Amino acid sequence: AQSVAQPEDQVNVAEGNPLTVKCTYSVSGNPYLFWYVQYPNRGLQFLLKYITGDNLVKGSYGFEAEFNKSQTSFHLKKPSALVSDSALYFCAVRDQTGANNLFFGTGTRLTVIP
Amino acid sequence: EADIYQTPRYLVIGTGKKITLECSQTMGHDKMYWYQQDPGMELHLIHYSYGVNSTEKGDLSSESTVSRIRTEHFPLTLESARPSHTSQYLCASSDAPLGNSPLHFGNGTRLTVT
């Protein structure tokens, strides 16, 4: 069975500081991994994905994520946080057989403090 | 901005009423999904479709039903709404058959059943 864990419900970071939102996953075989962001009263927006190749994936709005197969992690990072980055962040995984649908984590609320 | 549209954005109705939440996408995607999002953020897949005349139940049991008569349209119906149906409902679509395609989300319908 596939699953995703986002161990932190809430992450607070000062504006200008680096941010990390954690995600670990479990799938049979190789994963497709995704990060989405949700702003208030909106649907989810796609940020970035890992399919294969380079372990460091760059996405929208200056975000990046590092795939670590040995630690089964896919943490989201940004070198310098903006107040406008404050939102809900969801990690998601699907196994590469395509047999299963996308499975979402429980979400992490990021607050960037001015 | 999203090419997937949900109406209404907000709906307040009384117990026992029949309602239909609309979802349409203009991207020609074969795969469409309905998620229910708790007040505590977690997303649950309740229905999905891989194409016209194809519908499946998701991971979370739901009293709602869906139909897929046209590629672009994936409405969700509650025959008799109850307070336990109060939630945010998110519609999404993706390319098929690529398992590595991200989901595109609508802005959601926030349903309140009184």
CA distances from B43 to A19, A68, B94 (A): 24, 25, 17
HSE-up of residue B87 (Cα within 13 Å, Cβ side): 21
What is the mean pLDDT of each successive set of 10 residues along chain A, which is 114 residues long?
90 98 92 93 92 92 96 97 97 77 91 97
Distance separating alpha carbons of residues A75 and B48, to the nearest angstrom: 28
pLDDT in tens, B10-24: 999 999 999 999 999
Nearest to A106 by CA among B19, B100, B44: B44
pLDDT tens for each residue of B10-62: 999 999 999 999 999 999 999 999 999 987 678 899 999 999 999 999 888 78
Interface contact flag, A32 B99, Cβ < 8 Å = yes
Task: Report the C-alpha dihedral over residues A77, A80, A85, A89, rounded to 10 degrees.
Answer: 10
Residue A31's Cα: distance from chain center in Å? 14
Considering only CB atoms, A34 lies closest to which of B4, B102, B108, namely B102
Report the gap between the CA of B4 and the closest CA in chain A (Å).
10
